[in-house]
Amino acid sequence: MQIKTFTFSAFGTNTYVITFPEIVLLVDPACSNEYERQVLLNYIRPLADGSQKRALVIIATHGHLDHLWGAAWATKQWNTSVWMHEADIPYAEAMQRQYDLFGISATPQLFPIAEIYAAIACHQPCMADLQILHTPGHTPGSICLYWQGEKVLLSGDTLFCRGYGRTDLPGGDPRQMLDSLRKLTRLPEDVVVYPGHGSTTTIGDEKW
């Protein structure tokens, strides 16, 4: 398991490329301009399109715009869809509302979406070690990606280093966020956390 982190856009959103022998995961394609897209392409192309021909899978930890800037580009580039929790699919499909909320004067591009649990079931055994943890609070369909054997957690905007995702945006819920954070604190303390924004941390360091 090899993890490469890219931080893209004015939102400082972390995009992760995770490489396995048979598959490449692109998590939260946040590349927002041609330069960022080229940087990501230059890294992924030898992995997914090179001699080993690994399959490429795109996963979104939730449906917010800053985690999906590059989704339309990436799905066209690799002829695939974005996997996400069904509760956040409506947010991704109505991206214009998010643009309007943040005063972004642009028209978002649509992209194909697949419900993540069904999609993973079709890609066994490559995805057998990946656990999808439903962690609502930031959005109804927020998820974390957990590899127990590797002790790695991609936490999206649920858990940050010394913080957690905001709950005051549409679909946010403080009580659900508290429940989700409690769920994560039950993981082993030495699990390394790769958040949607900011630097890595561990479960042990974030317990309170």
CA distance 86 to 114: 8
Look up the pTM and report it.
0.94
Q: How far is CA 37 from CA 8, 22, 55, 71, in A?
A: 9, 23, 19, 10
Q: How many CB atoms lie within 10 A of CB 183?
A: 14
Q: For the chain, which residues make up each domain, given as ranges?
A: 2-206
3 state DSSP class of 177: helix
Answer yes or no: are the C-beta atoms of 146 and 152 closer than 8 Å. yes
Quickly state the pLDDT bin for 125 (edges 50, 70, 90). Answer: low
- pLDDT tens per residue, range 73-112: 999 999 999 999 999 999 999 989 888 888 888 888 899 9
Q: Residue 160 has which token pair? A: 């940050």
Number of separate helices (H) and strands (E) present in the chain: 7, 13
> Domain 2-206 maps to which CATH number in 3.30.70.1520, 3.60.15.10, 3.30.1330.10, 3.40.1800.10?
3.60.15.10
Quickly state the pLDDT bin for 65 (edges 50, 70, 90). Answer: very high
Residue 33, amino acid: N
Quickly state the pLDDT bin for 124 (edges 50, 70, 90). Answer: low
Say what the pLDDT of residue 166 is.
94
- The mean pLDDT of the chain is 93
Say what the pLDDT of residue 189 is.
96
Sign of the Cα torsion 123, 124, 128, 134 reads positive
Has residue 50 got a pLDDT over 80? no
Beta bridge partners of 15: 6
